Structure 1
Amino acid sequence: MRLPRAPRLPLPAWTATLTWKAAVFITVMCCALAALLGVLVHVSVTRQTVGEARNKALDRLMDVTRMYEAGEQLPPGSGLDPPQLPASLRALAVSGRRGTLVDDDNGRPTMWAAGPADGKALAAEIDYTQSARTINGLDKAILGSSILAIGATLLVGVFAVTRITRRLHQTATVARRIDAGDLDARVNDPRTKDPSRHQDEVATVAGALDTMASTLQGKLLSEQRFTADVAHELRTPLTGLHAAAELLPEGRPAELVRDRVRAMRSLTEDLLEISRLDAGSETVDLDLQQLAPVVERVVRGSVASGTAEADTTVTVVRDACVETDKRRLERVVGNLVANAHRHGKAPVELTVHGPVVTVRDHGTGYPDYLLDHGPQRFRTDAGSKGHGLGLTIAVGQAAVIGAELTFSNAPDGGAVARLELPEYVDLESPAGEGAPNGE
């Protein structure tokens, strides 16, 4: 039976940053390098220190052996089968070989040397305390210097990486500003200004982003100028065409001509409005408005003008006072209602719930491209009437008045447009209620 895997604990967001990863990498590499160098130095110095002590012990053993063979009295620290002699070294000497061993003699490090003598072990000892202190001091010095080296390297590495990540964050911030519509945003990395100066990878990315933004801005400005120029140039002949159509004798052909002229004039006005929105030249005239009466008035006007049908209902859950531009608000709501009737299916339901206006139809819903990327001018579903400018203008005007317009599809079918405006709250009112109608 296969046991289920335990769920992974989510790591904090800061662990995904390049600075943290670089710090961990530098720390691990420094620790590995310090450990490797420390081991090499420790082994080398220990081998040298132990070798010197071993030679001294063997030299002392040779002196003791000569004295033993001459029948002289053995000096202190030597003897035949001393009780402190380690058993392993004793066995080695009894077997006929000489050897050395470091052992602890009553808390004192001692280097023993032993050899055979008449079937017994003749041993001599020397004080190993100074050698042990040397090795311990060396180990502490290696550890302390390693910690200092790791800390210094980590600080320098993090400082260098932070400079790079700061430039990357600046580049990302500029990219987000461009994505939000600020086409004047540039990184302006100083490394990209001087051709004789070598560029690193970050400067290359920053320069490419600035070049892309400049090219994109130029193309968009060219398109905006083209749209505005075409719309302006069409107004004069359309005005003459409209006057000429009014002089035609009454009849079906005259009605068809007038209807097409009205459609062309409406399209031209929409293009002019879009060009003004693209240019950012629109100014708002803010005033306090009760939201429900404005919505009801837009619906009545849409029904009267024929852009909306009679089965358009308005439900007020809670009215709210909003500070907005009434003309632009009416334009947004009117376009949403007209779009619901043109591309959706009746009944069309409008709901006012505080500062939020919801427009819903019962058609097939918004297409996927609109939900993913928002309205696109001159793009509609196959077989649909219109030019895709109504929702584009609604989004632009909503942004001008500081409202948020979102699009979705209802679970049981139908398109849903949600317009949320900033609600006005009178802080001086005891109940915190909205101000009265500012019309």
Structure 2
Amino acid sequence: MRLALPRWAGTLATKAAVFITVMCCALTALLGVLVHVSVTNQTVGRARSEALSRLTDATAAYEAGDRPAPGAGVDPPGLPGALRKLAVAGDRGTMVADHQGRPTMWAAGPADGSRALAVQVDYSQQARTIDGLDRAILWSSALAIGITLLVGALAVTRVTRRLHTTAQVARRISGGDLDARVDDPRTKDPTRPQDEVAAVAAALDSMAASLQGKLQAEQRFTADVAHELRTPLTGLHAAAELLPPGRPTELVRDRVAALRTLTEDLLEISRLDTGRERLDVDTEQLGAVAERVVRGAGEPTEVVVVRDVAVETDRRRLERVLGNLVANAHRHGRGPVSLTVDGAQVVVRDHGDGYPVYLLEHGPQRFRTEGGAKGHGLGLTIALGQAEVLGARLSFANAEDGGALATLSLPVGGG
């Protein structure tokens, strides 16, 4: 398991981390502001009360003609202009300002004429208290955000990891691996809390099991039907050979041959569906295999060898794939038909109307042909299945200037 945050978790985990961070920042900022405002108001309030109390004492001494106390005087130097103006106007007030490099709480009131009586109180300790509180709020907020973000990221990553596992299993199932299961531990232990991810995993496992059962039943049915048809078809073929020559006999023999071909194709597909086919690997020259396939097809097909290579493959299966592609080109396309060998890639092309849209989008579909064409629609399905057994990639496309293109890319290192 990777320690770094995986790429698959990026979107959901990043959104969750951003959401958690924003909410933590907003909450800590709100609490910090509330604490700062509350403590500052209390600190400033106590300093203001002390300054006003001293101003009251200084005013009484001034009116009695006594000597003013230390820190009190009439129009002392450093008195803020706004506060002096307020005092000269006949009001009393306080203000915090720097005086001789130190924060000072001033209190001023009217004296006589156009002068102001003022007192000053050292505000350094209170200012240091507020600054220390602000630093403590910042550090504690950063620590709280970091811890919350870490815990939230770990929790979200656990969820996204389980979602990623479920998505991987779903992709494997869609790719044909019906044995794939999530097997979430929470679904196997009813005593553990069942969250939404466990419910999705359980539903996916149940769906895969049901789909696998139905598909296996269909595969068994196809194999059983094809197997059971072989015996009566063998007898029917033997009986057809005993019929007297004539057009009716030819028709019967032709239909019996078509039924035998269909039965053999169904048996081949059922074997491919089981996924238990084994390769008989040998070294083969692709050019020679292509020539042999064209000769066996019995239809005029051009063979172009751009670059011949030797590949390790199962010759019988490779000939089956190429033979089906050539037969499909002649049956459903138009000439000229060509088979081109270029290294480990073989391209079969015709000059007909091209492959139908459904085949290009979804691949070959069994028993489906376009426009009432001849055949039972199993040739390309078998070719695709045999190509997968060979470890090759078979793709279908339409040429820009018309015609169908089937490209078989063989593995360089063998099947």
Shared fold per TM-score greater than 0.5: yes
Q: 2:261 aligns with which of 258, 266, 271?
A: 266
Q: Secondary structure at the match of 1:17?
A: helix
Contact 1:375 1:391 in 2 (8 A): yes
Residues 378 and 389, structure 1, Cα contact 8 Å, conserved in 2: yes
CA contact (8 A) 1:57 1:113 kept: yes
Partner of 1:5: none
Aligned partner of 2:107 among 113, 119, 127: 113
Alignment of 1:296 onto 2:285: no
* 2:60 maps to amino acid: R
Partner of 2:3: none
Residue 216 (structure 2) aligns with: 221
AA at the equivalent of 2:390: I
Specify the code of the residue in structure 2 equivalent to 1:95.
Answer: A
| 1:288-321 Cα deviation digits (max 9, x unpaired) | 1111110111001111xxxxx22x1011110111
AA paired with 2:31?
Answer: L
Structure 1 distance, partners of 2:198, 2:190, is: 12
> Structure 1 CA distance, aligned partners of 2:128 and 2:383?
84
User: 1:333-381 CA deviation, whole Å, 9 max, x = no partner?
Assistant: 0000000011111110111110000000011110111000100101111
Identity of aligned residues (%): 73
Alignment partner for residue 333 of structure 1, among 314, 322, 336? 322
**Are the equivalent residues in 1 in contact too, given 2:9–2:157 (CA < 8 A)?**
no
Runs of 4+ in 1 over 4 A off after TM superposition: 13-16
Deviations 1:91-129 (Å, cap 9, x if unpaired)?
A: 000000000000001210000000001121000000000
Q: Shift in Å at residue 194 of structure 1?
A: 3.5
Name stretches of at least 5 consecutive residues in structure 1 with no aligned partner.
1-12, 304-308, 426-439
| Conserved? CA contact 2:281–2:312, under 8 Å | yes
What is the identity, as a one-letter code, of the residue corresponding to 1:236?
T
Name the structure 2 match of 1:190. Answer: 185
**Per the alignment, do residues 271 and 15 of structure 1 end up closer, same or farther by CA in structure 2, a change over 3 Å counting?**
closer
Aligned to 2:56: 62
Q: Deviations over 1:212-234 (max 9, x none)?
A: 10111011000000000000000
Give the number of equivalent residue pairs. Answer: 407
Q: Are residues 1:402 and 2:391 paired? A: yes
SS where residue 227 of structure 2 aligns? helix
Matches within 5 A, 1:9-408: 17-119=11-113, 120-195=115-190, 197-303=192-298, 309-310=299-300, 312-408=301-397
108 and 33 in structure 1: CA distance in 2 versus 1, 3 angstrom threshold: same
Relative to structure 1, the CA distance from residue 408 to residue 36 in structure 2 (aligned partners, 3 Å threshold; closer, same or farther) is same
Give the deviation of 1:76 after TM superposition. 2.0
Residue 202 of structure 2 aligns with an amino acid whose one-letter code is G
CA distance in 2, matches of 1:58, 1:410: 96
Of stretches 251-260 and 15-24 in structure 1, the one that deviates more from structure 2 is 15-24
Paired residues of 1:109 and 1:132 also in contact (CA < 8 A): yes
Aligned-partner Cα distance in 2 for 1:182–1:257: 42
1:7 is matched with which residue?
none
Q: Sort the Cα spacing of 1:141 and 1:172 in 2 relative to 1 into closer, same or farther, 3 A.
A: same
2:245 maps to amino acid? E
Work out the CA distance in 1 between the residues paired with 2:399 and 2:332.
Answer: 15
Q: Given the two structures, how large is their TM-score scaled by the length of structure 1?
A: 0.91
C-alpha distance in structure 2 between counterparts of 1:97 and 1:163, whole Å: 66
- 1:410 Cα deviation (Å)? 0.4
C-alpha root-mean-square deviation of aligned residues, in Å?
Answer: 1.2
Partner Cα distance (2:32, 2:309) in 1: 74
Secondary structure of the residue aligned to 1:122 is strand
In structure 1, what is the Cα distance between the partners aligned to 2:173 and 2:9? 28
Q: Distance in 1 between matches of 2:345 and 2:8?
A: 37
Report how far residue 69 of structure 1 moved: 1.3
Letter in 2 for 1:115: G
* DSSP 3-state at the match of 2:120: strand
| TM-score calculated relative to the size of structure 2 | 0.96
Contact map agreement 1:15 1:21 (CA 8 A) in 2: no
Q: CA deviation at 1:70?
A: 1.6
**Aligned match of 2:4:** none
